[in-house]
């Protein structure tokens, strides 16, 4: 084999290994995401609220969108904080379904964040005083994973409890989730 | 002689010293502090000496065979290259004896092990103190049941036991399988969800012994530690009485501010402090947290600066812990640390 052929072979092997090691990313458990704020300022929340109302505020990026550990923690909190009491396991019950493409108050990260922290009319309580900012982001990530908005390898693939539905990982991503808030009903 | 070669004896000496140092202290099965651990240690030594004797016998037999083979060959000039072996009868006899001895030794060791297990199972006492240990990810909840609910004591990561009195520990888990192991007192006992177990411990001398989760239970398995504090009966009773008390409302203004911070922030959702509205049962009971020696399941000593570190950035202390980072800053944090330290 010529020297050039050997060099090409080495390059090919290195490239294959690099491509394969990209698959290990999910297993790299990042417990601390430097991008996650530990505090929420009133201004930031207000900006997100304006965004939800159809204003021009840019959607807040979800710091845990690629963090499988944080999403699974969100799944744990979803049960522990009794979100399942109203939303069931995503199919909806007293509260609206979260595993479909319809979002009453918007499905962008910032919208879901505000919904959890401040609550929404007609029953959704605000959890701002009960959860830390990281925990809210973990819940936001899990709620987004229910409708397949997050990458498939980041979505939870197993449950701690008996779970009759399809696992989040196995769900098909919703074709085009309507992330903007639904139009408010016209006043009578 | 190279430097490396000269260092070799020194390194071997250091290795032996390290090995011997491992044979004592608060975390060693061969330094037993109770009857259960003593039985296990005696079984260990029996196995060790028998195994050593077998090893020596095999090595000696091998050496004899090799040397005799060489000697025989040296004395057979008429048949060069032919190794003189035993007669067939001799071979059969040797193999029979060896197989018989092996079976005998294995059976006696099995019997010894079963007998020790039987003895351990029989070590019960009607006046045993009942304690419940609940394994959580990644800490230990310790409950001392009382005649009335108000007499029940709940603490965390510190198992106080009276010296010389058997303690019946009920082992419970609600999440994953953990295992309670205090090497100085007993073997391991798994904490299986939905299947409470029992283990009887007894400490014959006062002291602090280390415990450790011995069944892999998640990322922080290695940092799920436990202190067993064995005290004379009167001091144990005093401790239990103190733990039953509801701490009085803080009088110091800083501590009072700390209590307000505790109740206004997310702490109360997971932690309990008797005498306050905080009644969460997800995390450790903090009613008497100031009296404990460590925090975060034996990872950090219980000191103000460590308390603050633990609350502000728990992931840097125990990566993967379920304790969320708090956003309490400045004077609020200082007051909170003073309040928690005052809960004795």
pLDDT band at B66 (very low <50, low <70, confident <90, very high): confident
Please provide residue A54's backbone torsions phi and psi, each rounded to the nearest 5 degrees: 95, 15
pLDDT at B211: 93
The 10s digit of each residue's pLDDT in A110-135 is 889 989 998 998 889 998 878 888 89
Task: Give me the mean pLDDT over the B52-77 stretch.
Answer: 79
The 10s digit of each residue's pLDDT in B213-269 is 999 998 899 999 999 999 999 999 999 999 998 999 999 999 999 999 999 888 988
Q: Which residue from A minimizes the CA distance to B328? A: A39
* Cβ-based contacts of B217 with chain A (< 8 Å): none
- CA of A69, closest CA in chain B: separation in Å? 9
pLDDT at B26: 75
The 10s digit of each residue's pLDDT in A54-90 is 555 556 688 888 888 899 999 999 988 889 899 988 8
The answer to the question of residue A18 being in a domain is no
pLDDT at A90: 81
Closest CA relative to residue A104, chosen from A177, A188, A168, A187? A177
Residue A186, pLDDT > 90, answer no
CA angle A74/A80/A86 to nearest 5° reads 90
Establish whether domains B129-244 and B253-342 are of one fold: yes
Whether residue B320 and residue A29 make contact (CB cut-off 8 A), yes or no, is yes
Its pTM stands at: 0.80
The 10s digit of each residue's pLDDT in B194-209 is 999 999 999 999 999 9
What are the domain boundaries of chain B?
Answer: 26-122, 129-244, 253-342
Instruction: Give the range of the structural domain holding residue A70, as residue numbers without chain letter.
Output: 63-158+166-183
Residue B323, pLDDT > 70, answer yes
Question: What is B129-244's CATH number?
Answer: 2.60.40.420
- Residues, chain A: 188
- CA of A102, closest CA in chain B: separation in Å? 31
Q: Which residue from B minimizes the CA distance to A77? A: B322
* Cβ-based contacts of B266 with chain A (< 8 Å): 129-132, 135
Q: Is A29 on the interface with B (CB under 8 A)?
A: yes
A interface mutation test: which of B173, B194, B269, B315 has the most A CBs within 10 A?
Answer: B269
CATH number for the domain spanning A147: value is 1.10.760.10
The answer to the question of residue A107 being in a domain is yes
The answer to the question of residue A49 being in a domain is no
The 10s digit of each residue's pLDDT in B19-46 is 655 556 677 888 889 999 999 999 999 9
What mean pLDDT value characterizes chain B? 87
Whether residue B326 and residue A133 make contact (CB cut-off 8 A), yes or no, is no
* Cβ-based contacts of A80 with chain B (< 8 Å): 282
Whether residue B315 and residue A38 make contact (CB cut-off 8 A), yes or no, is no
Whether residue A31 and residue B319 make contact (CB cut-off 8 A), yes or no, is yes
The answer to the question of residue A44 being in a domain is no
Residue A2, pLDDT > 90, answer no
Residue B1, pLDDT > 50, answer no
**Interfacial A residues in 112-151 facing B (CB < 8 Å):** 129-135
- Residues, chain B: 344
The answer to the question of residue A35 being in a domain is no
Domain count, chain A: 1
How many of the other CB atoms lie within 10 Å of CB of A148? 19
Q: Which CATH superfamily is domain B253-342 in?
A: Cupredoxins -  blue copper proteins (2.60.40.420)
The answer to the question of residue A119 being in a domain is yes
Residue A159, pLDDT > 70, answer yes
Question: Checking DSSP bridges between strand B178-181 and strand B139-144, what pairing results, if any?
Answer: unpaired
């Amino acid at each position: 084999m010529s020297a050039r052929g050997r060099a090409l072979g080495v390059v090919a092997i290195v490239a294959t290994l690099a491509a394969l090691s990209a698959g290990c990313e999910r297993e790299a458990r990042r417990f601390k995401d430097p991008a996650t704020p530990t505090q929420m300022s009133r201004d930031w929340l207000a900006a997100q609220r304006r965004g939800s109302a159809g204003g021009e505020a840019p959607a807040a990026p979800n710091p845990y969108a690629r963090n499988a550990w944080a999403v699974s923690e969100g799944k744990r909190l979803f049960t522990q904080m009794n979100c399942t009491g109203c939303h069931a396991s995503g199919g909806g019950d007293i509260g609206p379904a979260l595993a479909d493409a319809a979002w009453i108050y918007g499905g962008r990260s910032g919208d879901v964040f505000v919904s959890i922290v401040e609550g929404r009319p007609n029953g959704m309580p605000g959890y701002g005083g009960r959860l830390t900012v990281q925990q809210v982001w973990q819940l936001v990530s899990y709620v987004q994973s229910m409708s397949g908005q997050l990458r498939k390898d980041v979505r939870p693939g197993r449950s701690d409890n008996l779970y009759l539905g399809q696992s989040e990982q196995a769900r098909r991503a919703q074709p085009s989730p309507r992330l903007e808030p639904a139009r408010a009903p016209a006043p009578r | 002689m190279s430097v490396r070669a000269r260092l070799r004896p020194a390194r071997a000496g250091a290795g032996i010293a390290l090995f011997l140092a491992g044979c004592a202290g608060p975390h060693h099965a061969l330094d037993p502090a109770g009857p259960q651990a003593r039985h296990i240690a005696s079984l260990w030594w029996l196995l060790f000496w028998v195994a050593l004797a077998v090893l020596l016998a095999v090595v000696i037999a091998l050496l004899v065979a090799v040397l005799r083979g060489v000697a025989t060959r040296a004395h057979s000039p008429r048949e060069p290259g032919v190794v003189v072996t035993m007669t067939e009868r001799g071979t059969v006899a040797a193999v029979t004896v060896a197989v018989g001895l092996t079976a005998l030794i294995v059976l006696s060791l099995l019997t010894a092990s079963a007998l020790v297990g039987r003895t351990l199972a029989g070590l019960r006492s009607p006046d045993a103190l009942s304690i419940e240990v609940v394994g959580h990810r990644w800490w230990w909840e310790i409950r001392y049941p009382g005649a009335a609910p108000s007499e029940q004591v709940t603490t965390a990561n510190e198992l106080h036991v009276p010296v010389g009195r058997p303690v019946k520990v009920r082992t419970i888990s609600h999440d994953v399988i953990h295992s309670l192991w205090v090497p100085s007192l007993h073997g391991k006992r798994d904490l299986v969800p939905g299947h409470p177990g029992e283990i009887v411990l007894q400490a014959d001398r006062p002291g602090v012994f280390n415990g450790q989760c011995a069944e892999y239970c998640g990322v922080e398995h290695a940092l799920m530690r436990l202190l067993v504090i064995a005290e004379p009966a009167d001091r144990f009773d005093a401790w239990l009485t103190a733990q039953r008390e509801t701490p009085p409302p803080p009088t110091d203004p800083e501590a009072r501010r700390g209590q307000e911070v505790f109740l206004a922030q997310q702490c109360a959702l997971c932690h309990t402090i008797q005498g306050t509205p905080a009644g969460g049962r997800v995390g450790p009971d903090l009613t008497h947290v100031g009296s404990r020696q460590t925090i975060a399941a034996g990872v950090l000593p219980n000191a103000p600066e460590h308390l603050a570190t633990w609350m502000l950035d728990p992931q840097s202390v125990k990566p993967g812990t379920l304790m969320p980072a708090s956003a309490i800053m400045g004077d609020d944090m200082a007051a909170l640390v003073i309040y928690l330290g005052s809960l004795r």
